[in-house]
Structure 1
Amino acid sequence: MEQMIFTRLRQINRAIALLVGIMLFACAGIVLADILMRRMGAHSFGGTDEISGYVMAIATSWGMAFTLLELGHVRIDLIRTKANQTGRALFDLFSMTVLTGTILLIAIKCWPVLERSIANNSKANTPLETPLAWVQLPWFAGWVWFALVSTIVTLTALSLVLKGRNDEVETAIGAFAEQDMLQ
């Protein structure tokens, strides 16, 4: 069952990553078109720097869960590499627990930012006067998704540890890159 959970989460996050990639590609296209228009002496769209900043914030928040499931987050595991398989599984579980706690805190702290923007009908102090809630809602949703995925992954890894399936823990939440570099 645990492997099914990891597989399903990876499928969902790969689809999200594809959508985020399309969003980034479209943003790059808009910025490129704006640059070309300015080089040819035409009026620029204006605000492409603002829009690209918004897109990067949204892409980052949604990309975190994908990176987690692809074991792409940076970890320094000098002690972990010296441990046996059970020890590595426990280090991995500890790492996931700390990450999950941190991400839950970030997601919780993001809400007041969005709530205030909605309550005040806040707009960016820029020529575009972008309603901030339009940008902050998908940004906040990305952090909530990351918190949810991180929590599910941690609980699923805990289930594997409790069942003594430590090899599966390493496959699901381990840190392979550092281990490969030290061998």
Structure 2
Amino acid sequence: MSPLIQSLDGLVRFTRGLSRLATRVIGLALLAVVIFIGVEILLRKLAGHSLSGVHEYSGYVLAVLSAWGISHTLLERAHIRIDVVHGRLTPLSQHALNIVSLLALNLVAWTIALNAYPVLAKSLANGSTANTPLATPLWIPQLLWAAGYCWFAFTTSVIGLRVLAALCQRDAPTLDALIGMDNGELAEAPLTKESR
């Protein structure tokens, strides 16, 4: 196995691990938001008071969750894909279609990441705050949101490089494991000796 393949497999493992960690942290934040919304509803109904900022922060958590969760979803091949045509193609055509879709996704990811920074920079330059009683500095949620999309762009690039290396080696099991339609037990295959 070449040092390049080992390095790329290490990067895939790193992106998978960090994406999984980020998803768990954001999942815990989402759980906390759900609990606070429940408490806020009970307080409003029973005591006539409400917790300020719950709805504002739940929106921030959802935005950050979507930005960071998309990388984990890509790595686990859990995005919704319609396989009406895909399943009827030859394996070579399936691989070609999968590679084209990954490269298109990489282009979209970088477009989002590059356009997220100006939003953050404008909020920093203007000292923008939320139009709410809490007046949250907008750069805080926007930084987490933009970082998630930058991570997504990095992740699609790492997967893209590993897929192109597998293509050059004609390594069909790795191609299937990284970008194939089946979301089964092959997800970790390119990182084990059995797939070589």
| Same fold at TM > 0.5 | yes
Q: Does 1:141 align with 2:147?
A: yes
Distance 2:104 2:137 in 1: 34
Equivalent residue letter for 2:150: V
* Contact kept? 1:123, 1:130, Cα under 8 Å: yes
SS at match of 1:10: helix
SS at match of 2:12: helix
Higher relative contact order (CA 8 A, sep 6+): 1
Match of 2:163 among 134, 150, 157: 157
Which residue matches 1:95? Answer: 101
Within-5 A mapping of 1:18-167: 18-167=24-173
Distance 2:67 2:168 in 1: 31
Distance 2:139 2:172 in 1: 43
Deviations 1:60-103 (A, max 9, x none): 10000000001111223333222222221111111100000001
* Contact kept? 1:123, 1:132, Cα under 8 Å: yes
Distance 2:148 2:180 in 1: 23
Aligned residues: 177
CA RMSD, Structure 1 to Structure 2 (Å): 1.5
> TM-score scaled to structure 2, two decimals?
0.85
Which residue matches 1:180? Answer: none
Distance 1:64 1:155 in 2: 18
Q: Does 1:9 align with 2:26?
A: no
> TM-score scaled to structure 1, two decimals?
0.90
Distance 2:13 2:123 in 1: 37
**Which segments of structure 1 move beyond 6 Å, counting only runs of 4 or more?**
none
* TM-superposed deviation, 1:108: 0.4
Which 5+ residue runs of structure 1 have no aligned equivalent? 178-183
SS at match of 1:96: helix
SS at match of 1:9: helix
Identity among equivalent positions (%) equals 33
Deviations 1:136-158 (A, max 9, x none): 00000000001100110011111
* Contact kept? 1:107, 1:140, Cα under 8 Å: yes
* Contact kept? 1:85, 1:167, Cα under 8 Å: no
Distance 1:108 1:93 in 2: 22
SS at match of 1:127: coil
Distance 1:39 1:140 in 2: 37
* Contact kept? 1:69, 1:172, Cα under 8 Å: yes
